[in-house]
Amino acid sequence: MSGLDRSTTAFQELIGTMRQHWANQLYPALNQSYQQAAEGQAIEDSQAAGRQVQDLPLYHWFCFIERHYQRMKYSDPRWGLAAALSARPDWVNAQLHPAQDSRWLKLDPALKIPEYYSAVDIHQHPGNLVGADFDGLMYQASATSIHPNTRRFEAHERMAQWLQSQGSFESVLDMGCGFGKCGFPIARHFAQTQVIGVDLSAPCLRLAARTAEQEGLDNIRFEQQDALHTGFDDAHFDLVTSTQLLHELPVDEIKHLLAESHRLLKPGGLVAHLDFRAHQPWQQFLIEGHSVRNNEGFLPAFNRMDIAAAYRDAGFEPVTVEPFAETEGATRADWPYWRFPWTLFWARKPAQ
């Protein structure tokens, strides 16, 4: 991130290098150890998978890197992102849209932030995106190191390309839009489409609005709203989408989100929520461990949830759940590196 001092930049680059080491060297070695230990055994669940590696020093080193380098990235008292950004309030403010309404931004200072969102520092992000003006900038800087072996925000670009295969859209709602990493590719790929991003986080929305202003993107705007209970009219959009939002919600809230998606869609409209879904016991064990180490407590319940049934209960039919390649070749069976199990959950609202 430009604007950080030399020592902080060097420290953050070290964190990114260790993340690559973790994904491209530690994980393949750990996976090989697991496959050897599990060979010939009937591994029926994640607990059984975990027992194959739980005593290995390599596994504990894998866990340590995932937990503590993420913590250091944010919260190291000398070179963490929080310390660096809190020391530069004038620079931070210059990167953000003013905290007032405009053609790109509509904030709601009275919006009640749900307790499930504010009570936990998800991703180990201090204050969980609602604690400081620099939260959007900090999240943006962090997001560049979350997904090794992809170009910056490549998954979101590929999502926009997939949407192009589904036709054209007049109006799009991007739920949980953050600083716009998914909404911007949609706005660029669909230049005649009006895109609205909603999020709880005013700091993220201020960064998104400033980015839209700087790029001159007139077909996207951002509003501070709860995606589960928006103020838009029924049948207002022909596409509702999100990226990495479902797994950060409790199960009941996911059901509310799907019901809201259905309410907001025009007949025949498309809903496409991109998230994670681990199927095999070994993959489930890794995701459950990640949820603990990265403060994502709702992820295991989401992974066990019958999401297709929840879509149907909300009124969608048929429902497609399919793997999604965040970079070319990532869904191959022989992909050797650590990755999130990206999955696309999509359906259309019945035309009648």
Q: How large is the average pLDDT for residues 129-135? A: 93
Q: How large is the average pLDDT for residues 157-163? A: 97
Residue 352's pLDDT is 77
Report whether pLDDT(1) > 70: no
**Domain ranges within the chain, ordered by starting residue:** 6-98+115-143, 154-348
- Beta strand 194-199 with 171-175 is parallel
Residue 343's pLDDT is 98
- Candidates 316, 174, 172; CA nearest to 244 is 174
Angle at 278 between CA 276 and CA 283, to 5 degrees: 125
Question: Is residue 152 very low, low, confident or very high in pLDDT (cuts 50, 70, 90)?
Answer: confident
Q: How large is the average pLDDT for residues 325-334? A: 95
Fold for 154-348, please state it. Rossmann fold (3.40.50)
| pTM, full prediction | 0.95
Can you read off the two tokens belonging to residue 17?
Answer: 């290098």
Report whether pLDDT(2) > 70: no
Residue 4's pLDDT is 86
Residue 82 has phi, psi (to 5 degrees) of -65, -45
Q: Which residues of 40-54 are buried (b: 16+ CB within 10 A; e: fewer)?
A: eeebeebeebbebbe
Residue 150's pLDDT is 82
- The length of the chain in residues reads 352
